[in-house]
Amino acid sequence: MGKTVGKTTVRRTVAALLAAGAVTTSGVALAAPAGAATGGTWRADLAHVDGDDVNVEAVGSALTLKDSAWHRTDLLTAGSQGYLISAARQLASPVNRVTTNVVADLPKGTDVQVEVRGRTGADDWTEWTPAGAQAAAFAHPVSVVQTRISLSSTTDGVRPTVREVDLSATTAADARANAAAATTPLTYTIYATREGLTGHTTANGHVIASNDHFVALPSGKALSPKGTGNYTVRVCKTDGSRCEYAPVWDVGPWNTKDDYWNPASIRSEYKDLPQGQPEAYAAYHNGYNGGKDDLGYTVGNPAGIDLADGVFNSGLGLADNGNVKVTYLWTGSAAATGIVTTAGDPMNVRASGSTSAAVKGLAANYAKVNIECYVNGDPVTGTFGTSTIWDRIGPDNFISDAYVKTGSDDPVAPLC
């Protein structure tokens, strides 16, 4: 499967997501690390499947693939995949480590993988982090944890069955966790390609519409659940003249476990590459990994991000594939955050707090934006009533607070 923009052919990966968790055939619980304060143990609810889950079904109290021959992309000619996102778990005390133990039936060619994330604010989360016998480590203690359980098969008609997922949360000093802390969101210049693929399904279960507004990154660590923008990027033309704020809803265009924006201490694969350099770039330009991605495909361009048609055309006004500046907004912090909430279409990003100010780009519905400060400007009537508050969400980038879910009708950040 592919499509052509200008002279560059773009190939989509299958969403073979995530790094492996601990999968066993016994129900032996894992002990908490020595010296750790126990934060709680619980069993994931495998019987509750809802709208943010993808191609899984409950069979009694167990979980399996719903369609064992669902080929999400044209490249996937055999086997299937899907995942369950559990309800968020409120813990009795803050934790920074989570281990898991899985009881599953795994016929040949099947796999089960477990990741967790921690809530750091009302709509803010850590990245999805592999959790197995080696603990998932959070940069700061969290009191709410969510679990994602991914199932896959390489053969049509063959399904894994998950019977139990037990989790144990503790608090302990962890250098790996401390390495993840940051204040300013990470920004890198990355080669971008247009995704296209209208009518196909993204890794989070979204059916791609014409002129859609989302992006794909080559790791499931920053995959937003369907209908959310927990992980949002600001992607801009290299001269900064136009930007779009868009949620991460797919995995690709090359690789499935390349969180290249992270430091080597956290990066899942290719730890010898410089931080901010996608494996696809090194494979294409330098023959790294034999010129192949983590699925064994020959890399045909150096792309580290895919842009849905609406982002590519309407948001940035690009004429062809090429370099863009990408800011991974969840990797830093701001005075406040908010969720862009429209009737469906993206909203204009303007150069100041005026409805007549120059349009600098778009902010997609569901995008989670960092609010740096605010100004008083023209009144706008939107989803949350009429407001004169304009939120600055980036350099010379302002949006009306009338379309931003902040939890308050008043400013939530300082005056600019």
281-340: pLDDT as tens digits: 999 999 999 999 998 999 999 999 999 999 999 999 999 999 999 999 999 988 899 999
Q: Render 35-92 in DSSP notation, one character per residue.
A: TPEEEEEEE---S---TT-BSEEEETTEEEES-TT--SSTT--S-EEEEEEPPPEEEE
φ and ψ at 234, to 5 degrees?
Answer: -105, 115
Report DSSP state, residue 201.
Answer: B
Given pLDDT bands bounded at 50, 70 and 90, which one contains residue 180? very low
Q: In the predicted model, what is the mean pLDDT of residues 67-89?
A: 87
Q: Render 16-32 in DSSP notation, one character per residue.
A: -------EESS-PPPPP
Mean pLDDT of the chain: 88
Answer whether residue 175 shows pLDDT above 60.
no
φ and ψ at 16, to 5 degrees?
Answer: -80, 85
Specify the amino acid at residue 312. Answer: F
Given pLDDT bands bounded at 50, 70 and 90, which one contains residue 77? confident
User: What is the predicted pLDDT for the residue at 160?
Assistant: 97
User: What is the predicted pLDDT for the residue at 63?
Assistant: 98
Residue-wise pLDDT for 107-141, tens only, equals 999 999 999 999 998 889 999 999 987 899 998 89
3 state DSSP class of 98: strand
Q: Are 9 and 297 in contact (CB under 8 A)?
A: no
User: What is the predicted pLDDT for the residue at 262?
Assistant: 97
Between residues 405 and 28, the one the model is more confident about: 405
User: What is the predicted pLDDT for the residue at 372?
Assistant: 96
User: What is the predicted pLDDT for the residue at 384?
Assistant: 97
Residue-wise pLDDT for 220-236, tens only, equals 999 999 999 999 999 99
